[in-house]
A and B are shown apart, each in its own frame.
Chain A
């Protein structure tokens, strides 16, 4: 049965799993055993044949997968987090971009122009009803004071994965909104840009027809729970005025900012505060990640992608 053992050694040798000592034994044996030499040749040939030049996958493989990925809503799973917001990062971008248009164009106090409304209701459509309940708790905080943060209670991976549905429609909005953001939108120290809306609004309007086909009625519960009456002001942490958001815009801005619950609050860094009807929301940028919290309450991290998108819009 020695040959059996040495043949097993051969197999392990091919897999880099044989000690030098055993390798030496094997060499000795193969030198004197022609049949094992032959077996080794067979093993090696099989191995080489299996390992050699892999076939190119058909091009439709990637295309089909990505088509299915875009079409398939995520399967819903129970989410343990306090905040469960069904707004994907893409919608966040679309929303903030639209909010920027609004800021830049209208001066921010009154009702949204028609065009942006369409984009906003797109984003709103994706907010689940579940979001309304936990979000209601968030409308309560009265203080504007900043207190040390509580530990985050969950990591974000699961919730973030679960928190998204209906990716497809938002991408349409995002695609429409993204190209303009770079040049047109600016918070410029809070100065509203009354000279630019003419350019910004019609661009945005082009996305409105794409928004229309959304069949479900908008779910506004979360927004209403979140947003007190009146517009909100956005400040940088140092107090520099950035602009104002309308009531609903503000609510949705905040909703999207905390889309990806999780992460932790670390004091310091560069920050923004959003003053919304007496409730202060704080945004902080730390190590490239953006964290959000209602003042005095727990904080939530924005996904790196979402944060990047958001920050791209700030001066």
Chain B
């Protein structure tokens, strides 16, 4: 759907043709659901959060001005719903992403071959490990990374949706990736760094 078609559909829904909302749901449900799945880590939660996000979008559709793509606007609603949901439940044990941590992270060395899964089983293993590790990231880091990787949003779009600086977005995404790589190793899914290469990391 082009931006123009999107706005036309939105206009018609807002004007009373509420059935037409189904078009927007169908078009976006896959991305919304997968965003929610990565952010909540459970299929049931992802379903609940997706429904919630769509209904929020429906209720506030008249506030959508077309400044961004509808999907971008919807992703922000989705990530907010997910983060609220997680917050209400009480946080899982999250890893810290402080500067001190980055010192350690800078030393991280990962054996290449472990990150080149070839068989389906290896891919599955990596996928599961990544998703598990993702859930350990602090919410705002997870949100930024997921909006980027799954939502395909540019830094600027994420920044404007989250109301933060573009530089902050870059830094959050970078730190999230770094922490993920670290966690994957700590998780036992990947071999520990090769000690002889450690110095070269500095």
Which residues of A are interface residues toward B (Cβ below 8 A)? 1, 3-4, 7-8, 11-12, 14-15, 17, 33-39, 41-47, 49-52, 54-58, 60-62, 64-66, 68-70, 72, 74-75, 88-90, 92, 156-158, 160-164, 167, 171, 259-260, 303-306
Chain B residues in 8 Å Cβ range of A54: 30-31, 33-34, 150
A66 to B50, CA, bound (A): 12
**A64 CA to B31 CA in the complex, in Å?**
17
Per-residue 0/1 for B78-107: is the Cβ within 8 Å of any A Cβ (1 yes, 0 no)? 000000000000000000000000100011
Given contacts A15-B173, A57-B29, 7 further A-B contacts (CB under 8 A): A15-B155, A17-B170, A54-B30, A75-B59, A162-B62, A164-B16, A303-B17
B139 CB-CB contact with A under 8 Å: no
Q: How many residues of B contact A (CB 8 A)?
A: 69
Question: Given A11-B170, A11-B174: A69 and B58 within 8 A (CB)?
Answer: yes
Residues from chain A with a CB closer than 8 A to the CB of B180 are 42, 46
A15 and B148: CB pair below 8 A?
yes
Is B177 interfacial (CB-CB < 8 Å)? yes
B77 within 8 A of A: no
Central interface residue in B37, B173, B198, by most chain A CB within 10 Å: B173
* B22→A46 contact, CB < 8 A: no
CB pair B11 A303 closer than 8 Å: yes
B35: nearest residue on chain A (CB-CB)? Answer: A54
Q: State in angstroms the CA–CA spacing of A47 and B198 once bound together.
A: 24
B interface residues, Cβ below 8 angstroms from A: 8, 11-12, 14-19, 21-22, 25-26, 29-34, 37-38, 43, 47, 50-51, 54-55, 58-59, 61-62, 102, 106-112, 115-117, 123, 126-127, 130, 134, 145-146, 148-150, 154-155, 170, 173-174, 177-178, 180-181, 184, 190, 193, 197-198, 200-202
| Complex alpha-carbon distance, A46 and B132, angstroms | 12
A55 and B37 contact, CB distance less than 8 A: yes
Is B184 in contact with A42, judged by CB distance below 8 angstroms?
yes
Is A57's CB under 8 angstroms from B30's CB? yes
The reply to whether B18 and A70 contact each other, CB–CB distance below 8 Å, is yes
* Complex Cα gap A306–B170 (Å): 46
Task: Tell me the nearest residue of chain B to A34, going by C-beta.
Answer: B197
| A to B CB contacts below 8 Å, 19 in the list | A4-B102, A7-B174, A12-B174, A17-B154, A34-B200, A39-B181, A43-B178, A43-B181, A45-B117, A50-B146, A54-B31, A54-B34, A57-B50, A69-B21, A92-B16, A160-B14, A164-B16, A171-B19, A304-B12
Give the dominant DSSP class at B's interface: helix
User: Which listed residue, B12, B38, B62, B123, touches A305 by the CB 8 Å rule?
Assistant: B12
Task: Say yes or no: B34 contacts A55, CB within 8 Å.
Answer: yes
Whole-angstrom CA separation of A205 from B104 in the bound complex: 77
The 8 closest A-B pairs by CB, nearest first: A161-B62, A303-B15, A57-B33, A45-B115, A42-B181, A89-B16, A88-B16, A35-B201
By the criterion CB–CB under 8 Å, are A3 and B25 in contact? no
> How many angstroms from the CA of A287 to the CA of B25 in the assembled complex?
29
Residue of A1, A35, A75 with most partner-chain B CB within 10 A: A35
CB–CB B55/A65 < 8 A: yes
State how many angstroms separate the Cβ of B13 from the closest Cβ of chain A.
8
B residues less than 8 Å from A17 (CB atoms): 154-155, 170
